[in-house]
Structure 1
Amino acid sequence: MANWKMRKRLVTGVLGAVTLLVGAKGSEAQSKLGPQAPVTYTNRFEGYGGISFDNFQAGQNLPTRMNLAGIDLLGTMWLTQRWGVSADFRFDGGTTPVLANPYKVNRPLVYRETGMLGGQMRGWKNQYAAANLHAFGGVSHGTFDQGTSVPPQVVGLYTNRTKPMGVVGASLDFNRSARLAIRISPDLVFEHFGTETREFFSISGGVVYRFGQKTHY
């Protein structure tokens, strides 16, 4: 009987130790997967900075699109936990194919500077991530005469101009803390540099920083 009691105590002790070990490992794994502090989304302001990649057609009749890379800077003031107003600035550039020409102009540099205003809507959210929708509108200034020895229109490019631009898209934020998150944001871009509105795809990725006095809406 004493031997049985000793075995029972030993088994109980081992099971208790295993339970504590598994619980500790589970808590450690959970802390690595998500933020330790609660993410309440009650910040007033939010800043985003990232790198962007998109495509574009640098002339009305060019048969081939070009790829651009650049930066995307976005500031948002949240009016409620769901709705915010935003200001967006983008700078991107790249080299583009041109029409066949006798001037030895091949893949000149094209770049754009874009400023837009709009809004964000925060949708699904939890401790680990949040999904947002956004729509911005404004203007974009394109520079098309860099690296050309002739006027850009001679090789099929637009002339330097400022034209309307808008984007609609979404973003997914992966929280690292209550203030810091990693964002991926795809967009559908509408531009009117030529005689018609054209649509292009853009995607950016970067860091979100939430700040400002927390307010309970």
Structure 2
Amino acid sequence: MPRRSDALDHATPGAIAVAALRILDEEGPQRLSFRTLADRLDVSHATVQRRCVDLAGLLDLCTEHLAAQLPEVPAGTDWAEATEQRFRALYRLLTAHPGLLVLRGGRPWLGRQLLARLVEPALADSVAAGMTVTGAITAYRRMYLLTLGSAAFVDHRDPAGVTSASRAALAALDPEEFPVLSGGLADVLPALTDHEVYYGALRQLIEAARPAT
């Protein structure tokens, strides 16, 4: 086993986040623990715990690692275009790692990377475009909740599995009690995994919040 200093050098926050996300993506949220993570990194359980303290700290490392990948929108970009770019990028990150969403649940995401790459620039752009701070945070909150809910609703990495399970559940319904759901499977099922449902809703929220010129 590596010495304590060597182990800490090896188990950097970035390395821990990458390994944890790989476990979540490959094996599912039920398999993530300090011990499985330590095995992946070839360090002791105690080394990982010193870095993260607890599961909440580990999940914070993962979300901060992902937030660092959010794009920096160039200055001068149209407000609506900049807003759509930011939230579409967040949506892509979240749908790529559904296991992380399962474990985070309703915990707030307030890490520095997210605040610096998404929240602050989004609010600053909105205020610069003519919104009040209250209006800016309200619009941001609506788009954030839409993005989070759309990403967490289904496992977008397995659309075939989602469709199959939903088809079985809906097919078992009593047609007299649920005439639309049972009779409209061909129309209902595709919408469950269609990313355009989210993108369309996002554009509607952006248009509704667009500052008056």
TM-score normalized by the length of structure 1: 0.22
TM (norm. structure 2) is 0.22
Higher helix share: 2
Whose strand proportion is higher, 1 or 2?
A: 1
